[in-house]
A and B are shown apart, each in its own frame.
Chain A
Amino acid sequence: MAAKRLNLRKRYELLTRGMGWETTYQKMDDVFPYDTFEGIKITDWDKWEDPFRLTMDAYWKFQAEKERKLYAVIDSFAQNNGQTNLADASYLSAIKLFITGVTPIEYAAHRGFAHLGRHFRGDGARIACQMQAIDELRHQQTQVHTISHYNKHFDGLHDPFHQFDRVWYLSVPKAFSEDALSAGPFEFITSISFAFEYVLTNLLFVPFMSGAAYNGDMATVTFGFSAQSDESRHMTLGLEIIKFMLEQHEDNLPIVQRWMDKHFWRAYRLLALVATMQDYMLTNSPMSWKEAWDVYFVENGGALFEDLSRYGLRMPKYHELATAEADHISHQVWSVFCSLGNATGFHTFLPTEEKMAWLSEKYPDTFDKYYRPRFEYWAKQQAEGTFEFQKGLPLICQVCQVPMVFTEVQTDPMQISYRVTEHGGDKYHFCSDGCKDIFEHEPEKYVQAWLPVHQIYQGNCGGATIPEVLEWYKFTPEDVGNYIGSRDHARWQEWKGDAAVDKTGSDV
């Protein structure tokens, strides 16, 4: 008679929980020096539940299977010149933004979870974090592998990690990830696993991956789906850690609520870059930012916080403002990118009439009233040959580091939101109450912010002129500027021959 197989729960217990022990030769607090200073009180780590109960043998087996499938597709894509099936080469501005702005934060997450995989006292939590650390490294690697094929044929993809540390708009994701990395383990996991990977995850995934599907980018769709299967474990870890902290001690609630408020807002501001990608960079947009926000935050977020309300956790502060802003942010960010298109590593372009008709339909209250006029004005200047990129550099927010383009959408959408505070005799400017609150709670942290515009003016970015700064960024002349007239455009025209149809407006 065959031996009875251990059930899932028992296998998991033996291979994970059974591996931990109370140290006697050294004090537990010395072995785990990082998990109490934040003030989070854990009375019983054994109460940690890992819903997926994945053991390392199962982990390797499933991950290996995913890798085999993914790399077969990447090979096939490369062999069959899959890049020629894109809807338009201008779509790749989305992928350029992805490899420079998202892939490095996958690597940052890997580092963060590796730290947690050592420093959480609970063995169940450590195992989950170790697996996530490997997952995040896998994501970074698969993204680099996949996008390396595009790098053979298109500009703007050649130095993502160099650029992440330097370029003005990339300081937005960099500052976001470093805020979490430089926090303690419980704040880190609240920020990344809960706020970013649970509450807001679909707002990153859907725009990029559905965007890829709608624009003939099979390679990105494939790595996207491959990564998403890991994300479900990450989301579950995020929800579990929140429930665990809130169940362990009532003193944890105010700390968790504050972290939730902070990191929701920080992640939401980061997503402004995704919003603009979704509405403006995709040749064919599957869904508008506003639609995605309604489904994935307002509806889904509502259900999540309803469930968590029994612990006393409420919706994140300023979530109503985020919902009001959904009608505006993509247009506002694209405006600043179009204005400064001589200093972006991806090509910018004005929306076509067709795209503007779509935007009118998706944003009936705001697009025609507030945003169409500026795109039409720039298009007219283009046609007349009088368009120029803006001289000068923008005021950026001290905390989120996005140029301060956001407006008082609830009262006057054509009035820029200005907030300010003083600390140590110096003034600090913010785009919103959300960012100002974050600064005022931990000013010593944010006075250290490496703000790209200020750093340029301090002379730390290769020189005083824009060309010198772009060289320091490792932007080549072919990387920047209008899509039409670029090398990517010329190459695309050549491949498509008579079938070439320009899918972008004008040549901004």
Chain B
Amino acid sequence: MSNKKNTVFLIVQDNEDARPIIEAVEQDNPEVNIQYQPGMVRMERAGRLTVNRETVEELMGRDWDVQELHLNLVSLTGNVNEDDDKFELSWH
């Protein structure tokens, strides 16, 4: 059975604002598959993908509100779980 069946993905714009977010995802999500497409970056993983505020802040060099993700979001798939510290996508 293809394990593509429970893949979640997060796609963000390919710009400077989103770069620390992409790097944070790479750092915190083992085996995440990152694909660069025209104008956007697709981050794909089996089961669960998490954006951690603290990691983004370290990489960005300033305080960051998880909701700022709205400015760069392109698309996503999976159940959304968001709070002050993280943005997470998962399938059950």
Question: So, do A and B actually touch in the complex, CB under 8 Å?
Answer: yes
Contact A306 B13 (CB under 8 A): no
Query: With A52-B82, A62-B70, A225-B40 as given contacts, are A299 and B7 in contact (CB-CB < 8 Å)?
Result: yes
By a CB distance below 8 angstroms, the chain B residues around A7 are 83-84
Residue in B5, B9, B13, B37 whose beta carbon sits within 8 Å of that of A210 in the complex: B37
Whether a CB of chain B sits under 8 angstroms from the CB of A44 is no
Whether a CB of chain B sits under 8 angstroms from the CB of A205 is yes
By a CB distance below 8 angstroms, the chain B residues around A8 are 66-67, 82-84
Contact B75 A235 (CB under 8 A): yes
Contact B71 A66 (CB under 8 A): yes
Distance of A228 Cα from B67 Cα, bound (Å): 15
Whether a CB of chain A sits under 8 angstroms from the CB of B38 is yes
Whether a CB of chain B sits under 8 angstroms from the CB of A1 is no
Q: How far is the CB of A224 from chain B (nearest CB, A)?
A: 8
Q: How far is the CB of A478 from chain B (nearest CB, A)?
A: 32
Report the nearest A residue to B7, measured CB to CB.
A303
Report the nearest B residue to A228, measured CB to CB.
B74
Interface residues on B, range: 20 to 34
By a CB distance below 8 angstroms, the chain B residues around A213 are 38-39
**In the complex, which residues 61-92 of chain B have their Cβ closer than 8 Å to any Cβ of chain A?**
66-68, 70-77, 79-84, 91-92
Contact B39 A221 (CB under 8 A): yes
Distance of A65 Cα from B68 Cα, bound (Å): 10
Whether a CB of chain B sits under 8 angstroms from the CB of A310 is yes
Whether a CB of chain A sits under 8 angstroms from the CB of B6 is yes
Distance of A51 Cα from B87 Cα, bound (Å): 10
Report the nearest B residue to A227, measured CB to CB.
B74
Contact B71 A306 (CB under 8 A): no
Report the nearest B residue to A59, measured CB to CB.
B70
Query: With A52-B80, A303-B7 as given contacts, are A228 and B39 in contact (CB-CB < 8 Å)?
Result: no
Distance of A239 Cα from B91 Cα, bound (Å): 12
**In the complex, which residues 1-30 of chain A have their Cβ closer than 8 Å to any Cβ of chain B?**
7-9
Report the nearest A residue to B37, measured CB to CB.
A210
Whether a CB of chain B sits under 8 angstroms from the CB of A360 is no
Report the nearest B residue to A61, measured CB to CB.
B67
Report the nearest B residue to A232, measured CB to CB.
B73
Query: With A8-B82, A65-B71, A225-B13 as given contacts, are A232 and B40 in contact (CB-CB < 8 Å)?
Result: no
Distance of A399 Cα from B76 Cα, bound (Å): 31
Contact A232 B76 (CB under 8 A): yes
Residue in A205, A209, A235, A306 whose beta carbon sits within 8 Å of that of B76 in the complex: A235
> Which residue among B37, B80, B82 has the maximum number of chain A CB atoms within 10 Å of its CB?
B80
What 6 A-B pairs are tightest by C-beta distance, nearest first? A51-B80, A213-B38, A232-B73, A229-B73, A228-B74, A62-B70
Instruction: With A214-B38, A304-B77 given, name 15 new contacts (CB 8 A).
Output: A8-B67, A8-B82, A51-B81, A54-B67, A62-B70, A66-B71, A213-B39, A221-B38, A225-B74, A228-B74, A232-B76, A236-B80, A303-B5, A306-B6, A307-B6
A sample of 21 cross-chain residue pairs with beta-carbon separation below 8 angstroms, ordered by A number, consists of A8-B67, A9-B83, A51-B80, A52-B82, A53-B82, A65-B71, A202-B75, A205-B75, A210-B38, A225-B13, A225-B39, A225-B74, A228-B73, A228-B74, A229-B73, A235-B77, A236-B76, A303-B6, A303-B91, A306-B91, A310-B92
